[in-house]
Amino acid sequence: MESELCTAISRTPMSAQLDLPVELLIHIFALLEGHQIVRCIAVCSYFKHAIENSTALQYLIKLDMFGYTNGPGRADAARLNQLEKHIDAWNKLDWVESYIDVPIWRYGLDALREGVYATSNTTEVLCIQLPSLSRGVPLRTWTLLFEFFVHEIEIDPSNNLLVILSMTSPLQGSDVREAALHLRTLSDNTPHPSAPNSIIFLRSTMVTPRSDHHMVRAMGALLGILWLGALEIWNWTTCEKITVLLDMNFFRSFEFLSATSFLIPYDGRLEVYEIPVESPGAPPTHTASFGMPDPNPGYTPAVYLIPCIMHNMDNGGFPASPSLPPPLFHMTEESRYIHIVWSALGVEDYLQIPFQVPVSSLLCSAMYPNPLAIPWDVWSKDVYFSKDNDTQIPYWMNGGRFVHLTLSSNSHRVVSLFDLNRSRAAALGTTNADSSVGDGQSAHIIESPVFPLGEIRMERPCPIHVASRSLGLGEYHPRHLLCDDEHIIMRIFHEFDPDDEKLVILSF
């Protein structure tokens, strides 16, 4: 529809376009995407004036610039003001720091989505509603207790969903393994009202060399469990099994890309499967291969898929819990990025090289035959390469933004933001046209290679915006880093007392 509107506007005589009331023009432009609205600025001064003076259109443009889509709530002027403050806070790393003392939780058994952080230890889950200045959400903590051991957790605050994987020990001499996925409400630990059964029982006799690895992911109505050499995908709102994929190549992670596809990373390639998969051993729908950097000699590389942005938070008909406020805007599915880390583990060295690619390119292999072939020399080595296990914890990427923690010379931790969105901001805001441009002349848009916008192509690489801020953590050391679009949260422990652990919450 958007392309038809663009074509119709471009073919309409200028005299007829100028006869249209401004209100009607704004209504028409509002049906376009942000970058298409920007291109309309170059048509004539009448369009330019109408777009630049419309709060609603400026809001849509800035949403598209930073890879967001609209959410429920306020009037355009208030939402534009809130969005501008949010973007400005990211650019300046302008946050409020909070500290929370926490018990010693198992490393990696935690989740952060949509402003809610959850971590688990044995039979309980600690939940923290992170503060949000833009949404007026205060800090709140609550603990959920269970009568079974928690092996893995997953949360989806937009559906008020907490998923817990609990596994039982096999009987001596038996190959049968059993587990359960408990579907609870995140807010008060009751059986989830949208699930016909509060427990999904799992049973397997397959034991592989990596059978101890497990992982749970939720997106909308989909619930995936990687367990004992197989990936099972369920519809948790009906408790029906949709897909089983056998782990023939020992993959260790997966991510839902949409309601109809998921991705599995391997060493040197990515595989995308459409849902449902025809058979447990079915080949992937799309495959993309890439050359993996040679790690230090003697190390075995492993590739992991890092959850990179919040999932598309369409409530899907489920009302969000009043105690878990929904965001005012959120990432679009088209802006989703994949973050791959090659890690070579040794006694003294820990090497990380991140790599990213738009999922939209991966799924459009006909348009991009080798979508992962982005030249390494596009990126600055000092930004994307680090080899010091004492000064770094993992990167995080959110729609083009990296967060990186380093140790400065004065023993302060420095959080740096590498923002590729500046490339897209320049693309959407830069034209070679002024108000005198006549009918039929299009705008010149500079585009970064990692932000393909349909027919627009890169003219030249755009600079990467970098901002840093020092954290005076003193003798505390970082242990773990997680982020969503409003928060950076890290677990830190005292240099001389590992049992003294805190959460540092940075809220935008």
How much is the pLDDT for 173? 67
* Separation CA 462–CA 48 (nearest Å): 25
Question: pLDDT confidence of 474, banded at 50, 70, 90?
Answer: confident
Stronger pLDDT, 252 or 314, i.e. the higher one: 252
Q: How far apart are CA 48 and CA 51, in angstroms?
A: 5
Residue 198 has pLDDT above 70, yes or no: yes
- Spatial separation of the C-alpha atoms in residues 467 and 414, rounded to whole Å: 10
How many C-beta neighbours within 10 Å does residue 213 have? 16
3-state secondary structure of 124: strand
Q: Which of 8-22, 69-83, 126-140, 247-261 has the highest mean pLDDT?
A: 126-140
Q: Cα–Cα distances in Å, from 117 out to 104, 154, 187, 343?
A: 15, 10, 12, 26
Q: What pLDDT, on a 0 to 100 scale, did the predictor assign at position 234?
A: 96
Q: Specify the higher pLDDT residue, 466 or 237.
A: 237
pLDDT of residue 196: 95
More confident residue, 160 or 38: 160
Phi-psi region of 168 (alpha: psi -120 to 50; beta: other; left: phi over 0): beta
Higher pLDDT, 189 or 346: 189
DSSP assignment of 384-412, as one string? H-B--TTT-EEEEEETTEEEEEEE-TTS-
pLDDT recorded at residue 100: 83
**Which of 71-75, 336-340, 348-352, 480-484 is least confident?**
348-352
**Which has the higher per-residue pLDDT, 136 or 434?**
136
For domain 88-107+114-420+464-507, give the CATH number.
Answer: 2.130.10
Q: What are the domain boundaries of the chain?
A: 2-87, 88-107+114-420+464-507
- Cα atoms in the Cβ-side hemisphere of radius 13 Å centred on 379: 20
Query: Residue 366's pLDDT band (boundaries 50, 70, 90)?
Result: very low
Burial status of residue 459 (CB atoms within 10 A of its CB: 0-12, 13-18, 19 or more): exposed
Confidence of residue 238 (pLDDT cuts 50, 70, 90): very high
pTM for the model: 0.73
pLDDT band at 212 (very low <50, low <70, confident <90, very high): low
Q: What is the pLDDT of residue 201?
A: 94
Range among 32-46, 281-295, 328-342 with highest mean pLDDT value: 32-46
pLDDT tens for 259-299 read: 888 878 766 666 778 889 888 888 888 776 654 444 444 43
**What distance lies between CA 507 and its chain's CA centroid?**
17
Residue 485 has pLDDT above 80, yes or no: no
Q: What digits encode the pLDDT tens for the residues 294-333? A: 444 443 444 444 443 333 333 333 333 445 555 555 555 4
